[in-house]
């Protein structure tokens, strides 16, 4: 029986269509929307972070007479030291990161074909550790009086809450770490795996642009 053009077409493997300008725009808008949501979650997480930081500082200050700028321990016989405010930053990070994980999983990146939470949480915390290192580095530079970006001592003299150097150091450090956290969580922790059996690399676009492919007439 002679082969018809339709039969020949059906035998050809389908290739992914190049996204149209409208699809690219839709994807860009979706990513922007995710970034805004991520920022809102981050803002709420920042409030949690700062609250834990302030409570930890006040607890150790009033309960044990520990100043947040005191040396906690020296780093491997170097000139660098871990100070108490670094410890407060770590405690604040742990609480705020769990808060952020729940909101990002069920709101910012909702609709993605997710891995189980016990797989995503360690990934989210690993990304958070990277952000924590940024926060600690920036806060150290901001708090240290000899740093080129150190806060002026005549203004930030720790006389009131708004003049407390470690509060501002933690605040600025968290803000600087937000873009890096979003990028790594978008591309790794909450990346869209796509429908089951469809493979993961192309799965991103499923939730940002409607499919335009039509079936061949039977």
Nearest to 107 by CA among 36, 170, 165, 155: 36
Nearest to 89 by CA among 75, 64, 69, 109: 69
Task: Yes or no: say if 165 and 173 are a contact pair by the CB < 8 Å rule.
Answer: no
In this prediction the pTM is 0.66
Nearest to 70 by CA among 58, 54, 86, 90: 86
Distance between CA atoms of 186 and 191, rounded to whole angstroms? 6
Distance between CA atoms of 117 and 131, rounded to whole angstroms? 20
pLDDT for 207 equals: 46
pLDDT for 6 equals: 55
Rounded (5°) CA angle 87-189-183: 80
pLDDT for 3 equals: 53
Distance between CA atoms of 161 and 205, rounded to whole angstroms? 46
Per domain, the residue ranges of the chain are 24-207
pLDDT for 66 equals: 95
pLDDT for 50 equals: 93
What's the token pair of residue 213? 């492919």
Distance between CA atoms of 9 and 81, rounded to whole angstroms? 69
3-state secondary structure the chain: CCCCHHHHHHHCCCCCCCCCHHHHHHHHHHHHHHHHHHHHHHHHHHHHHHHHHHHHHHHHHHHHCCCCCCEEEECCCCCCEEEHHHHHHHHHHHHHHHHHHHHHHHHHCCCCCCCCHHHHHHHHHHHHHHHHHHHHHHHHHHHCCCCCCCCCCCCCCCCCHHHCHHHHHHHHHHHHHHHHHHHHHHHHHCCCCCCCCCCCCCHHHHHCCCCCCCCCCC
Q: Show pLDDT as tens, one digit a residue, over the chain (218 residues).
A: 555 555 555 555 555 578 898 888 888 888 888 889 988 998 899 899 999 999 999 999 999 999 999 999 998 888 889 999 999 999 999 999 999 999 988 888 887 656 888 888 898 898 889 889 999 999 999 998 888 899 999 899 988 989 999 999 999 998 898 888 888 887 888 876 655 444 443 344 444 444 444 444 54
């Amino acid at each position: 029986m002679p082969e018809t053009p339709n039969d020949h077409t059906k035998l050809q493997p389908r290739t992914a269509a190049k996204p149209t300008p409208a699809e690219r725009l839709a994807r860009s808008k979706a990513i922007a929307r995710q970034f805004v949501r991520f920022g809102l979650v981050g803002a709420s997480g920042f409030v949690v972070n700062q609250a834990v930081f302030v409570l930890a500082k006040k607890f150790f200050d009033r309960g044990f007479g520990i100043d947040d700028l005191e040396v906690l321990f020296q780093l491997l016989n170097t000139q660098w030291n871990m100070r108490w405010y670094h410890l407060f930053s770590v405690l604040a990070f742990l609480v705020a990161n769990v808060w952020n994980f729940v909101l990002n999983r069920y709101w910012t990146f909702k609709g993605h074909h997710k891995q189980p939470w016990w797989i995503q949480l360690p990934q989210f915390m690993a990304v958070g550790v990277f952000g924590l290192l940024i926060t600690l580095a920036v806060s150290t530079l901001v708090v240290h009086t000899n740093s080129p970006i150190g806060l002026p001592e005549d203004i930030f003299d720790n006389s009131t809450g708004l003049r407390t150097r470690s509060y501002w150091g933690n605040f600025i450090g968290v803000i600087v770490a937000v873009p890096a956290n979003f990028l790594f969580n978008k591309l790794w922790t909450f990346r869209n795996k796509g429908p089951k059996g469809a493979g993961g690399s192309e799965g991103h676009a499923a939730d940002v642009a409607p499919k335009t492919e039509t079936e061949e007439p039977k």
